[in-house]
Amino acid sequence: MKIKFLITGALSLASVTVFAQKGELDNAQKEFGSYETARGQQALASVAKTSITNAKTSIDKAAANEKTATMPRTYALKAAIYGAMAYQDTVVSTSAPLYTAGVEALQKAKEADKSGEFKSLTDAANQYLGVYSLNKGVREFQGKQFEDAYKSFDFYRSINPEDTTAILYTGLAAVNTKNYPVAINNYKKLLTTKYSKNEGVYGDLSSIYLETKDTTNALSTLTEGVSKYPSSAALRSREIELGLTMGKQAEILDKIQGAIANDPKNKFLYYYAGIAYVGSANGVDKKLKQTKAATEVASLQKQKNDNLAKATDMFKKSLEIDPNYAPAAVSLSDALITPIVDEFNAANKLPTSKAKEYAAAMAKVNTQLDAIKPQLLKAVELDPKSASALTNLRNYYLVKKDNVKATELSKKINAL
């Protein structure tokens, strides 16, 4: 009978202890609920502070007792309470341990609460710990601690997988750690959302691909971006530039010409076509600089001039639609003066024995320069800060031997 009494007594004692610790859980939940109601209300600030402090005291007792320490409710309450305290604590040295403990408790709560009975608590913990982690990541990123920032942002993203800020920041931190595969996945994910700045994301994603030497995906990303944002000057110009460096001049021009057929009053499309032809001319120019055979030089020079003539035509069509479109005006001045400068340089390479040929060549250069002077002046008028426009006009005056005006323009160029 004595043994039976002792066993019964032991059972009774254990039951009382568990009941007492469950009372601590009930109190922790009640105090946390009071905190949730009072927080954010200035008049109840002291109530909120007292409630969250009492909630922590109770949950710490429950977590310290072996009978309740591993209950899903204990983990969930601890995650929510510690998360709330970390979130409201602006001192890193004291908030960081709360955050770490809260994250650990949250993970255990999700593992233990298979039925989702305490989902409201883990959701609250997610909110507090997630925002804390986001702010923590921002501080780390600003301090150039990119590895830590990535982990913080990725935690926030794991809680809010569709949050565009979470996706963007995680991707941005991954770029800065040179973890390009992860960065690419996040930027691609961002493009599936309704993020308001996805136009720029296409450009950024293309740049990330280029960091990995993946020019194919870089170009296809820009092409997709242009299809989504057809009026984006930045995306279309980058698509053209990259396409040209990849030797896809014909493909790029075909796309632009197709777009022009569908939208013949779009000044940008004519401008981009002009840029594409200029890119082709530049490609020929590189070959010219490596060629010495006279017949081959003449053939290449003709190819270059033909491309510049086509570019000129495109820029003029752009300006017909909008006479004040500065980029087209500046590019037109480039396309017009480049072949004249080539002729000027060729004339100055003639031997002194060919004075007659030199005089004829210079007469032609001067006539051509006089013909394009209005376009040179217009480019500077529309974009007085353009180094290209100012340089073209200065070169005009240099050839014309007007050193006063040439010097004035040189000063403006140097001041840019």
pLDDT at 4 over 80: no
- Mean pLDDT value of segment 335-362: 93
Give buried/exposed letters for 135-145 (b at 16+ CB in 10 A, else e).
Answer: ebbeebbeeeb
pLDDT at 11 over 80: no
> What digits encode the pLDDT tens for the residues 297-333?
889 999 999 999 999 999 999 999 999 999 999 999 9
Q: What is the structure's pLDDT at 37?
A: 86
Other residues' Cβ atoms within 10 Å of the Cβ of residue 152: 25
For all residues of the chain together, what is the average pLDDT? 90
Nearest CA-CA partner of 300 in 282, 274, 273, 277: 282
Q: Which residues contact 220 (CB under 8 A, 6 or more apart)?
A: none
Residue 404 to residues 78, 279, 338, 411, 413, Cα–Cα distance (Å)? 79, 34, 23, 11, 14
- Mean pLDDT value of segment 61-88: 92
Give buried/exposed letters for 82-118 (b at 16+ CB in 10 A, else e).
Answer: bbbbbbbbeeeeebeebbebbbebbebbbeebeeeeb
Is the separation of the CB atoms in 190 and 157 below 8 Å? Answer: no
- Mean pLDDT value of segment 292-297: 86
> What digits encode the pLDDT tens for the residues 91-112?
999 999 999 999 999 999 999 9
Estimate to the nearest angstrom the gap between the alpha carbon of 233 and the chain centroid.
16
Residue 5 binned pLDDT confidence (cut-offs 50, 70, 90):
very low
> What digits encode the pLDDT tens for the residues 170-220?
999 999 999 999 999 999 999 999 999 999 999 999 999 999 999 999 999
pLDDT at 8 over 80: no
Q: What is the structure's pLDDT at 21?
A: 54
For a pLDDT cut of 90, what percent of the chain falls above it? 70
Nearest CA-CA partner of 271 in 305, 220, 306, 313: 313
pLDDT at 14 over 50: no
Q: What is the structure's pLDDT at 252?
A: 85
Question: What is the spatial distance between Cα 300 and Cα 321, in angstroms, rounded to a whole number?
Answer: 32
How is residue 181 written in tokens?
Answer: 């595969």
Q: What is the structure's pLDDT at 247?
A: 81
Residue 15 binned pLDDT confidence (cut-offs 50, 70, 90):
very low
Is the separation of the CB atoms in 219 and 230 below 8 Å? Answer: no
